[in-house]
Amino acid sequence: MDRMEELGFRSETDRQIFREAAAPVELSPFGLHSGMFVPTLERQGTPEQSRKWVPLGKSFKMIGTYAQTELGHGTFIRGLETTATFDPETQEFILDSPTLSSIKYWPGNVAKTVNHCLVMAQLYTQGKCHGTHLFLVQVRNMEDHTIMPGLEIGDIGPKLGFDGVDNGFMRFNKYRIPRMNMLMRYAKVLENGDYIKPKNAKLTYGAMVMIRVFIVMDAFKTLSRAAVIAVRYSAVRRQSELRPGGEEAQVMDYQTQQYKLFPLLATSYAFLLAAEGMSQIYAKISSDIERGNLEDMPQLHALACGLKAFCTWVACEGIEVCRMSCGGHGYSHASGIPKIYANIVGACTYEGENTVMMLQTARYLSKCYIRGQRGESLPELIQYLTTDLNVKSTLGEDCSFESLVAAYSHRAARMVAVACKLQQTNKKKGMAGHDAWNKSTVPFIAATKAHCHLFIVRNFVTILSQKKIDPATHNVLSQLCTLYAVYGIVENMGEFMQDGYFNQDQVSILNRKVLALLEDIRPNAVALVDAFDYPDHLLQSCLGRYDGQVYEALYEYSKSSPLNNTDIHSSYYNYIRPMMQKRSESKNISAKL
């Protein structure tokens, strides 16, 4: 903290980048404190509550996390069972875990690190339930860090990754907190127990929207780091003869290796720009919301859900491709890639399980489609839904940005229409609304992925057409943008061709273009990963070192393995030697027989 003050880091983004650089391999045990707990106090507390608690949080006098998920519920927030019952006699809320399934389970850093939590609980006052609300709860003694009486707290045990985060469980037994510990910016409970409801019940969910926006940037960071490691290693690694009798080739010169890695390099750039675009949209709409203008809240929620799900799914798949493209050494922790994967793959689940998040976006698209069919105006990002689906592609050899964006718009508009028509057909067959929805959710997921893909392609093209970039850089970035878009079409050709949007010649053009772009990008591939400027300390990779001294680094890494601390391991004396002695004795016995 003091070091960040000395360095003058004021913005939370800069502080987060510094924290990651300081602790690159394991996630910080304070990530949730800084990324979720403090910002939620700022955004969901009254001005008085913020003035009181935010300085304590920012100075780490109070260390907190966000405790919402329970053993029995994570996705379905309205189904959470923890209760907060107002007691007007004592002006307190009584927090309780009434059932086994109501035990808070998963909250990060709750096991051993934090002394406070923001707890999501069902609010009861005057005998009535008003739904889930957030409460600031002290969970450990500020003097000796012991667990407060009335609480049971512990660690949930080993996980796939996230080893730097002590995810825990927490059980309340009639635990009392002051009335003023309910975050009351939007909803209130008065001294007499009267409940003042918020303008929109989902304002309480604002912290999740904010983190989903951050996670889009995390998807970029993790995929780009894996791409840096894999591309640099592919430049160093020589294997097999490309030309019979010639020297062993750089594996980066195999077309298959380029087809694995260069689209992921292009995706990394696309996701960086998408994360920046998403952050700008979030900043604008969240400030409108804080001023009481909730008009664009559904659009923000839908975009944040969709991009969080789309980008984490693609990033995790891409990181695995990067790992496998490094052969055996990719499977070693020496590569740094397994840790990258293990720490980000949870993002497909936390802050909203990806399928559920995609369905939130799908629900929004379904409503917009109906509005579009009625001729109502639509937000700019959704206006493509009224695209004339009878139009065919004008794509030519140049694969222009305009023709590519038109293709993605057509694909998304067509797929949303297909899903919506299935939903409407289900209703006409007499299905209840929720069944008609559920029986069309598979095509809605596909349509929503197409919607997110369009956002990312269009955003990339827009930035290249608007930003002043020197010609040489613009040329290389245009190659990456074209590769990202053309590769996405080639890999999903069925969705683009289903209604004959492309003709056979155009399909051939696209298949030729994606291979030609690999050759165009090959000379700049290493420079394009170096441009991310990740220091070796951050990558923690023997394969992705800037100096390319891979084998020296692997040898040193291996020698440092703890198993090498002794020549003969104790397992020889405890198990191997007794087993061998027993075998030889039994052999002597059989020989005598």
Ligand X SMILES: Cc1cc2nc3c(=O)[nH]c(=O)nc-3n(C[C@H](O)[C@H](O)[C@H](O)COP(=O)(O)OP(=O)(O)OC[C@H]3O[C@@H](n4cnc5c(N)ncnc54)[C@H](O)[C@@H]3O)c2cc1C
Binding-site annotation: residue ranges for FAD: 69, 108
Q: What ranges in 429-524 are assigned the alpha helix state H? A: 433-438, 441-466, 471-491, 493-497, 504-521
> b/e string for 520-550 if b means 16 or more Cβ within 10 A?
bbeebbbebbeebebeeebbbbbbbbeeeeb
CB of 345 to ligand X, least distance (A): 9
Of 57 and 74, the one with the shorter C-beta distance to ligand X is 74
Within positions 77 to 106, which residues make up the interface with ligand LKMIAJQL, using CB under 6 A? 77-78
Say how far apart CA 266 and CA 259 lie, in whole Å. Answer: 11
Residues 295-314 that bind ligand LKMIAJQL (CB under 6 A): 297-298, 301
Sign of the dihedral defined by the CA atoms of residues 13, 19, 24, 25, in that order: negative
Concatenating the DSSP letter of every residue in 59-75 gives TTSS-EEEE--BSS-SS
Kindly determine how many residues on this chain lie close enough to bind ligand LKMIAJQL according to the rule CB under 6 A. 30
Residue 355, contacted partner among ligand X, ligand LKMIAJQL, none, CB below 5-8 A by kind? ligand X
* Touching ligand LKMIAJQL, residues 429-458 (CB under 6 A): none
- Output the residue with the shortest Cβ distance to ligand X: 74
Please report how close the Cβ of residue 200 comes to ligand LKMIAJQL at its closest, in angstroms.
Answer: 7
Nearer to ligand X, 267 or 426 (CB): 426
Q: Based on CB atoms, which residue is closest to ligand LKMIAJQL, 13 or 564? A: 13
Burial class of residue 283 (count of CB atoms within 10 Å of its CB; 0-12, 13-18, 19+): exposed
Q: Which does 424 bind (CB under 5 to 8 A by kind): ligand X, ligand LKMIAJQL, none?
A: none
- Binding-site residue ranges: 69, 108
Between CA 413 and CA 454 the distance in angstroms is: 10
Distance CA 326, CA 554 (A): 13
The token pair at 22 is 């300081």
Footprint of ligand LKMIAJQL on 265-284 (CB under 6 A): none
Q: Residue 172 region, left (φ>0) first, then alpha (ψ -120 to 50), else beta? A: beta
DSSP-derived secondary structure for 195-258: EE--S-GGGGGHHHHHHHHHHHHHHHHHHHHHHHHHHHHHHH-EEEESSTTSPEEEGGGSHHHH
Residue 310's alpha-carbon distances to 299, 340, 446, in angstroms, are 16, 18, 11
- Provide, rounded to whole angstroms, the least separation between the CB of residue 214 and ligand LKMIAJQL: 4
**Residue 60 falls in which region: left (phi positive, over 0), alpha (psi -120 to 50) or beta:** left
Q: Are strands 168-172 and 151-155 parallel, antiparallel or unpaired?
A: antiparallel
Residues between 11 and 70 with contacts to ligand LKMIAJQL, criterion CB under 6 A: 12-13, 16, 31-32, 35, 66, 68-69
Given ligand X, ligand LKMIAJQL, none, residue 67, with its beta carbon under 5 to 8 Å by kind, binds ligand X
Site for ligand LKMIAJQL in 354-393 (CB under 6 A): 356, 360, 363
From the candidates 70, 81, 92, 351, give the one annotated as an active-site residue: 351
Identity (one letter) of the amino acid at 399? Answer: C
The strand order across the sheet containing 151-155 reads: 104-105, 168-172, 151-155
78 or 468: CB nearest ligand LKMIAJQL: 78
Phi, psi of 160, rounded to the nearest 5 degrees: -60, -40
Q: Tell me which DSSP letter residue 182 carries.
A: B
205 binds ligand LKMIAJQL (CB under 6 A): yes
Q: Which is nearer to ligand LKMIAJQL, 40 or 257 (CB)?
A: 40
DSSP state of 523: G
As measured in angstroms, the least distance from the Cβ of 397 to ligand LKMIAJQL is: 43
CB nearer ligand LKMIAJQL, residue 212 or residue 232: 212
What is the closest distance, in whole angstroms, from the C-beta atom of residue 298 to ligand LKMIAJQL in the complex?
A: 6
Smaller CB separation from ligand X, 62 or 514: 62
Query: What span, in angstroms and rounded, lies between the C-alpha atoms of 189 and 46?
Result: 13
* Min dist. Cβ of residue 113 to ligand X (A): 11
- The least CB distance from residue 418 to ligand LKMIAJQL, in Å, is 20
Q: Fill in the amino acid letter for 252.
A: M
Task: Give me the residues that bind ligand X (CB under 6 A), please.
Answer: 32, 65-69, 73-75, 106-108, 162, 167, 346, 349-350, 352-353, 355-356, 359
Minimum CB–partner distance for residue 198 and ligand X (Å): 21
Which residue is at the shortest CB distance from ligand LKMIAJQL? 35
Degrees to nearest 5, angle at CA 309 with 307 and 313: 115
Closest CB to ligand X among residues 356, 526 = 356
In sequence order, which residues have a C-beta less than 8 Å from that of residue 312 and are 6 or more positions away? 215, 218, 219, 344, 347, 348, 354
Please confirm, yes or no, whether 351 is among the known catalytic residues: yes
What is the rounded CA–CA span in Å between residue 14 and residue 127? Answer: 46
Helix and strand tally (H, E) in the chain? 22, 13
Q: Indicate which residues carry an active-site annotation.
A: 351
Q: Contact residues for ligand LKMIAJQL (CB under 6 A)?
A: 12-13, 16, 31-32, 35, 66, 68-69, 74-78, 108, 202, 205, 208-209, 211, 214, 297-298, 301, 350-352, 356, 360, 363
